[in-house]
Amino acid sequence: MVARDGVGFGDDWTGVHRAALQRSATHGAFGPPMTHLPLRRLALTATLLGAPAAGQNSFRPLPSVPETNHSGAGVIAPVRQPRTYFEELDSAAARPKRERYVEVSGFADAHGASSLEGGGDVSMQHGGWSVVLGTELQGERLAAFGISTEAYFYNFGGGNALVPGASEPFNDLYRTRVSGVVRTPSSDGLGWFSGFELALSGEDEAPTNESLAVGGLGGVRYHAGAALDVELGVAAQSRLEDDPWFWPYIGVAWHPTDALTLEARGTSLEGRLALDRHWSLFGRADYELRQFRLNDDNAASKGVFRDEEIRAGLGLAHSDASGLTFELFGGVEVWRELSALDENGARTAEVEADGAPFVALKLSLSL
């Protein structure tokens, strides 16, 4: 939810969308809308929290919410696929838009084969779509609501220790997420934000009431001028068959020059350099948690499959005045761990995977 006025390198919690249209907003990145000036675009992002996670790693994901970023004249609007849907929704709005608008996105990524500890290997492909609705509320508050549907295709090779004796431990996996955020417009001084996420994830025919994860966050933000924004708050994220996470949320965005933005958002780090009004280069490292409820037709009946990873890479983004944004991102998995839990929450398997390359694409259109 951090953005910049002036040149319009609008920043959000994870740097998902930056300005792409050449318009102005004299009140700054999240300033109140003008009678004849459209709101900046809301967009989806996923915010993450840093913290020890049950002794397994030092990261905790934050639910993803929509952002109501109100930025200055646009230069660039790179699109980032949210790491968790809470991050998606509270990050976006870098391009000026109407007081009400719709944004439609399609995205896909592919991970190469990783050798698993104890034998076997795994590769994964993922794709989906999202829609965001943005609006202005009374009192100059800004709001965004989004829905995202995704499919995950895991390919296991050889024997694996995740579910012993099962070369295909589960079918294709799916996730649907609904998120929302409400916040004050950005101006110098203090403001606030609040958001939520509901996510259903699992196999076909998995129990719906046991596949729901809930997240939320809230806090205050301080806009210290064109070069610095700081956010402080509290976030919570539930986990399937495991204890929920509660952790303070801290976000910082620094703009040392008009072309360069550096951000730290929970478990996401990004540096972005604008090449011109339409192109930008970026480097990014972040953590993601994927969790899915399994059905009763496999070896891990009604259990939970969890996939956690840290990945890092470089990307190229392009935006044009029509509202079309494209991003290509590629790199390597720095760390990855797969685990299985039974329906009572007991961990039945845990295996680490060697690093593998990945590539991700996203295309968005604002209407």
Query: What distance in Å separates the CA atoms of residue 84 and residue 196, rounded to the nearest whole number?
Result: 12
Q: Give the type of residue at 345.
A: G
Six token digits for residue 238? 């539930």
Rounded mean pLDDT for each run of 10 residues along the chain, 367 residues in total: 31 29 29 30 30 29 43 31 40 49 93 91 95 79 89 87 73 93 78 91 90 92 86 90 87 92 87 95 93 83 90 96 94 95 88 95 92
Write down the pLDDT at residue 165. Answer: 64
Write down the pLDDT at residue 188. Answer: 64
Q: What is the DSSP string of 145-178?
A: EEEEEEEEEEEEES--SSSTT-SS-S--EEEEEE
Residue count of the chain, please give it: 367
Please name the residue that has the structure tokens 């490292």.
285
Q: How many helices (H) and strands (E) in the chain?
A: 1, 19
What is the bridge-based pairing of β-strands 324-341 and 121-136?
unpaired
pTM listed for this prediction: 0.74
- Assigned CATH for 39-366: 2.40.160.40
Write down the pLDDT at residue 73. Answer: 27
Six token digits for residue 341? 């839990």
C-alpha angle 289/293/296, rounded to 5°?
155
Backbone angles phi, psi at 111, to 5 degrees: -115, 135
Stated as kind and residue range, the H or E segment containing 89 is helix 85-89
Write down the pLDDT at residue 44. Answer: 29
**Residues 85, 236, 124, 313, CA torsion sign:** positive
Q: Are 163 and 349 in contact (CB under 8 A)?
A: yes
Query: What distance in Å separates the CA atoms of residue 149 and residue 346, rounded to the nearest whole number?
Result: 29
Write down the pLDDT at residue 56. Answer: 28
Query: What distance in Å separates the CA atoms of residue 331 and residue 360, rounded to the nearest whole number?
Result: 9
